[in-house]
Structure 1
Amino acid sequence: MKTSYLFTSLGFAAVTLATWYFFFKIFRKSLHATPFPEERRKRLFRNTLLAVVGWMMVVSGLSLSGVLSDFSALPPRFTIVLLVPLITVILVVRTETVKVILQHTDPAAIVVLQSFRIAVEVLLWLLFVQNLAPVQMTFEGRNLDVLSGLTALPVAWLASRKQLSSFWLAAWNLACLGLLINIVATALLSMPTPLRVFMNEPSSVIVTRFPVVWLPALLVPMAYGLQFLSLRQVLAGKKRGAPLGA
């Protein structure tokens, strides 16, 4: 069991690092295509990288210290892992800088990166098999978020060929957001708090432990962040009257 969990935990670390690596590849390519001065492009890339690495270190430290696993306080300290990136992403996505960057970003690149959610669902299922996560957090239970990852591949292909309308891309993003909200809510309602609804064991405390904590701290924000970016790209394109992928 310990060996199995070791591989699963390494899987979460690998998926997190790989996903953010590809995000920064897309980000760098988009920045180079913008009319921003070179110094500003370098500063944006550097500051974003430092912010992500810094957040990763803070969350890891809180997890290893056991702070996030303490549910005696109300609200639970774990909520900081969810709220900080959510507020940050909402504020950043609305900026004029992001608007310009999105004008030089391939819509398909944003979509295809969502395929990382396939690996996440496999890892969650492995945690369930190892009796470390409740069944409702897997595709055997209430979690259908694997559909987001699976459909990202054909949706990205259609977007790259400009065969997907803005309406359907927006609809896909909203549907995937719904699936994400469902699993996040399920995880929260499976935690040992007064708000717990799912009483079966184990609870969902595994998401507070390192490195699985990178799932709510870095991968969940990646999922909804990409969807917010894609939706803003769609809305901006409609205002300009430009076809998807133009």
Structure 2
Amino acid sequence: METLPLYIYGTFVPTVLAAAYFFSKASHTRWLFYVLLGWMALTAALAWAGFFKVTDTLPPRFLVAVVPPLLGLIAAFCSPKARAWLDAFDLKTLTLLQVMRIPVELVLFWLFLHQLTPELMTFQGRNLDIVSGITAPLVYYLAFVRNKWRAKLLIGWNIIALGLLIFTVSHGVLSAPSPFQQFAFEQPNVAVLLFPFIWLPAVVVPIAYSAHIISIRQLWKAYSKNRKFIYNLGSVKQI
């Protein structure tokens, strides 16, 4: 791999650390930050050793970085105690956290210029994920400062932003070198197999989709509870 400009590392690494810190802060727990740091250290060591560069195995080694965070989130939703913990996450922090997608998209563009990611993974191609990062401060302002359309606005924005993320991630997975590759054969998505960019699928993406899913759960519960309260109040008045 060619030597990349320091500003790429200088943008990406602090962004990942900030995302891990603020996601942990939203959880009101310190241990989550140390768990994320441990996961970062493990995936970094594997990437540094060239583990993910072996791309002809089944299942792809790339999944080692992708599947554990997803299983962890699923496990959390299966436990009543863990669900209560998820419901205590700070919604304001989870919303502003998505601003991280702006520097991430800049890094992807710079990696494309250095032939480490395909154009379709940038905002010049099929990646519209930067829209989520740009709109996050506006949504935060309208929902929490101006207190306008809070529930509906936040639910709609989180669903759309999660959809954009899933669309982008699917292209990222299918353009990475593996037996399942479908796109970008002329310039595969090789950056995510290398240190420190393995943290994109292993850390940044899981934090982003976890923040959206946790937010949607909280908002839908509150919205449903409020609608039920209004409905019951109306029934009482009719009686």
Counterpart among 91, 94, 105 of residue 107 in structure 1:
91
Question: 146-155 or 90-99: which moved more?
Answer: 90-99
Distance, in Å, in 2 between the alignment partners of 1:238 and 1:98 is: 21
Which deviations, in whole Å up to 9, do the C-alpha atoms of 1:130-163 show, x marking residues without a partner? 2221100000001000011111111111221321
Which residue identity is paired with 2:3?
Answer: K
Instruction: Tell me the amino acid that sits aligned with residue 206 of structure 1.
Output: A
Structure number with larger C-alpha Rg? 2
Cα pair distance change 1:80/1:102, threshold 3 Å:
closer
- 1:16 counterpart = 2:16: yes
Equivalent residue runs for 1:1-246 within 5 Å:
2-4=3-5, 6-28=6-28, 45-46=30-31, 48-93=32-77, 95-101=79-85, 104-161=88-145, 162-241=147-226
SS in 2 for 1:155: helix
- The percentage of aligned residue pairs carrying the same residue is 35
Q: Which amino acid aligns with 1:2?
A: T
What is the aligned residue count? 225
Deviation at 1:25, TM superposition (A): 2.8
Separation in 2 of the partners of 1:25 and 1:189?
A: 33
Tell me: CA distance 1:94–1:108, structure 2 relative to 1, closer, same or farther (3 Å).
farther
**Which secondary structure does the structure 2 equivalent of 1:191 belong to?**
coil
Residues 72-102 of structure 1 deviation map (CA, whole Å, 9 limit, x = unaligned): 2012111121111111122224543454445
1:191 and 1:205 in contact (8 A); partners too: yes
Cα distance change on mapping 1:24 and 1:195 into 2, 3 Å: closer
Q: Give me the whole-angstrom Cα distance separating, in 1, the residues matched to 2:95 and 2:216.
A: 11
Within 2, Cα distance between the matches of 1:167 and 1:210? 39
Change (3 A) 1:8 1:193: same
- The RMSD of aligned alpha carbons is 2.0
**SS, match of residue 144 in structure 1:** coil
TM-score (norm 2): 0.86
Distance of aligned partners of 1:99 and 1:84 in 2 relative to their CA distance in 1, 3 Å threshold: closer
TM-score by length of 1: 0.84
CA contact (8 A) 2:57 2:179 kept: no
Deviation at 1:106, TM superposition (A): 4.1
Please give the alpha-carbon distance, in whole angstroms, between the structure 2 residues aligned to 1:201 and 1:17.
Answer: 32
Deviations for 1:98-135, whole angstroms, at most 9, x for unmatched residues? 54445555422211111110110011011111222110
Q: What secondary structure, in the 3-state scheme, does the structure 2 residue paired with 1:241 have?
A: helix
Q: Would you say the 8 A contact 1:12–1:214 is kept in 2?
A: no
2:142·2:150 contact (CA, 8 Å) conserved in 1?
A: no
**CA deviation profile, 1:162-221 (whole Å, cap 9, x unmatched):** 212423321211111111111111111112223222244321111010001111100000
Q: Which stretches in structure 2 are left out of the alignment for 5+ residues?
A: 228-239
Residues 95 and 228 (structure 1 numbering): CA distance in 2 closer, same or farther, change over 3 Å? farther
